[in-house]
Chains A and B, each alone.
Chain A
Amino acid sequence: MEFISVFDVIGPNMIGPSSSHTAGAVSIALMARRMFRKPITKVTFTLYGSFAKTYHGHGTDRALLGGTLGFDTDDVRIRDAFAIADRQGLEYFYHIDGKTHVRHPNTADILLESDDGSSMLVRGESIGGGKIRIAQIDGIDVDFTGEYSTLIIRQEDRPGIIVHIAQCLADHNVNIAFMRLFRKEKGGMAFTVVESDERIPQEIVAEIASNSKVLDIMLIQA
């Protein structure tokens, strides 16, 4: 069992009112921002399930926008997220979808767009107590939490890439806690997600990228 600190009990320090509907929403958007890594000029949120029903009273809309702006769950600027986004020229839109069935009641899709035409669609779930799970990237099912240092590799679904990734990690003596491959269809696009207990050295990114079948790499340190 993972160590429960006194500050896990008397904590987290968070912007209210709800760990699942506010703090969790901030964390999902912050994670999406860190995965996208480009200046965000437009963001579109789609809220499902319980998020769609009670987003206003829980400030879920401001929480999602605050996370997109790079605010953490204890940042008092979240309350003023609309005004700050307006000042920064970040366009934001909300779709409230109470009809579509989703697996988890607290689910949001976040479409991040940049001026250069690139975009990324991230689906996150707030699974309770402020904890989150990233459930989809660009329509492909994935599964990670960001609690570990995480390497997300977008690649073509071809033989040999896993070996290449594993070799790069071994060269840097990184111990893999979890490693999983996700894809939609054979030969299409796939994601490898690697989670590690320790920091993953930044140099690994360039080394993994040297394989021509690797399309993009995201590194999120815990």
Chain B
Amino acid sequence: MDFENGEELLECCRSDNCMISDAMRKREIETGHASAEEVEDKLQRVYEIMCSSIEEPLKRPQKSIGGLIGGEARSIMDHMGDGGLCGRFMTKAVAYSMAVLEENATMGLIVAAPTAGSSGILPGVLKASMEELGYSRAQFDQGILNAGALGYLFMRNASVAGAEAGCQAEVGSAAAMTASALVELGGGTPEMCLNAASLALSNLLGLVCDPIAGLVEAPCQSRNSVGVANAIVCAQLSLSGVRHQIPFDEMAHAMYCVGREIPFELRETAMGGNAATPSGCRLRFRNVTGEHGCALTPLSK
């Protein structure tokens, strides 16, 4: 059993009368030749690492090795009060997603989801949904499998690499995967899952990858927070019957095409956007060895 695009995934779900997570589990076992126990063991390991990568920076915040971030997640939790502007679920999901980026930037253990730079969105939302929406441990796994199905389609048919297609391919894809997972957990159909993913991709279409000083720290960390918000909003829209006019497969292709048109300077090279501002250049000078001053001209000159 296998599927190569969104349409085929929906066909699998229809013919087996199952959810996307079921189809992905079945594919892993039948086509990937894994045993059900192997899949369970790996899911358990993913769960453990995702949880510890959220909890560590909240308990013991520390400065990242590049020095640009550290302590943001804890600060958000400390200011949450009774939910603040975003409410408890989204605020927690945002804080958790940013915690993972802190763990990543202090050489901690994380699960790339689908990349290190976008590794906060899926675990942040799933863990917050267990705590605030009452989802079970099994539903966490269901979310991983559902998101994994879409991530596989992005890897196969588009890109999840910032160097290839910009931040839209990393945070955009992670948000789309997470939106889809939330829809399944919220009782939506597979069609509604892909619709939510389509919306999420469309909302972040064209987002550039412009890491300050070339580090996976800023703006990556706060981009994860907007990925979380985007995922939750798009899941809510889709569960309410709001449809995006462009089907998932076309949207994934559009994301890839836009990515290839993003100039080199804005694809992880740290030569544009945030990285090329005077302040970004000063931070680069502080971090980068063997370079003296800012040799780069901001793109907006």
Contacts and interface: CB of A to CB of B under 8 A. Distances in A.
A1 B156 contact: yes
Interface of A: 1, 3-19, 22, 50, 52-59, 62, 74, 76, 78-79, 96, 98, 128-129
B217 interface: yes
A58 B215 contact: yes
Interface stretch (B105-113, B227-235, B244-252): B105-113
What is the interface residue range for chain B against chain A? Answer: 35 or more
B254 interface: no
B103 A16 contact: yes
Contacts of B109: 13-16, 74, 76
Interface of B: 24, 28, 31-32, 34, 39, 42, 45-46, 49, 64-67, 103-116, 119, 122, 144-145, 147-149, 151-152, 155-156, 161, 163, 213-217, 287-291
Contacts of A18: 116, 216
Contact of A17 (B144, B215, B291): B215
B290 A96 contact: yes
A16 B290 contact: no
Contact of B217 (A3, A17, A74): A17
Contacts of A5: 28, 32, 34
A79 B216 contact: no
A54 B104 contact: no
A63 B39 CA distance: 29
B214 A54 contact: yes
Contact of B290 (A53, A57, A59): A53
A54 B288 contact: yes
Nearest to B160: A9
A39 to B, nearest CB: 26
B163 A128 contact: yes
B65 A56 contact: yes
Nearest to B213: A57
Contact of B114 (A10, A98, A128): A10
B154 to A, nearest CB: 8
A19 B147 contact: no
A57 B286 CA distance: 10
A78 B67 CA distance: 19
